[in-house]
Amino acid sequence: MTKAIKLLTALPQAQRERLMELAHEVSFPEDARIFEAGGTADRFWVIRSGAVNLDQQVTPQQRVTVASLGAGDLLGWSWLFPPYTWDFGAVAFSQVRAYEFDASAVLALCVEDPLLGLSLVRSVAEILAHRLETTRGRLMEQYTLHRRSLL
């Protein structure tokens, strides 16, 4: 499996510096719900410290964790694609410190600087591809364990 892509280190330094001009620091206490599936995706975060679980509501009483994110990870990508709503929910697993970015300001910067926009979209795409590969691996492990339990 390939190494996880970290958004800020994936961008060239000059583009990273321009993007960081739009960042502001935020924190979330342990167990804070950061966003809910179906909500408006108008921002994103890069986690500085702590851990965040992405989850999916499977029944009214049950949520399933689909991914865990930590320092350096991108939290939120739905701001890039219509209909601009979150596909998953996110909850702070521990105290979290992060850089927060307003999506409309970042998108305006991408229009102003198309090379930055291309680098950003390419980096987000690589992150999503890695997460998909990781999820596929977990599903295959679960399938294998399930098959073995049936024998």
Ranges of H-type helices in 11-113: 13-20, 103-112
pLDDT value, residue 27: 98
Tens digit of pLDDT per residue, the chain (151 long)?
445 668 998 889 999 999 999 999 999 999 999 999 999 999 999 999 999 999 998 888 888 888 899 999 999 999 999 999 999 999 999 999 999 999 999 999 999 999 999 999 999 999 999 888 887 777 788 778 777 877 7
pLDDT value, residue 77: 94
Kindly give, in sequence order, each residue whose CB lies less than 8 Å from that of residue 66, ignoring residues fewer than 6 positions away. Answer: 54, 55, 56, 88, 135
Contact yes or no for 26/144 (Cβ under 8 A): no
pLDDT value, residue 3: 57
**Of 39, 9, 24, 31, residue with least CA distance to 99:** 24
DSSP 85-145: B-SSEEEESS-EEEEEEEHHHHHHHHHH-HHHHHHHHHHHHHHHHHHHHHHHHHHHHHHHH
Q: What six digits make up the tokens of 85? A: 């709503």
Contact yes or no for 11/119 (Cβ under 8 A): yes
pLDDT value, residue 60: 87
What is the rounded CA–CA span in Å between residue 14 and residue 80?
Answer: 21
What is the rounded CA–CA span in Å between residue 40 and residue 24?
Answer: 19
Find residue 117's DSSP bridge partners. Answer: none
Q: 7-150 sits in which CATH class?
A: mainly beta
pLDDT value, residue 1: 44
Q: How far is the CA of 42 from the CAs of 11, 57, 73, 98, in angstroms?
A: 21, 21, 18, 16
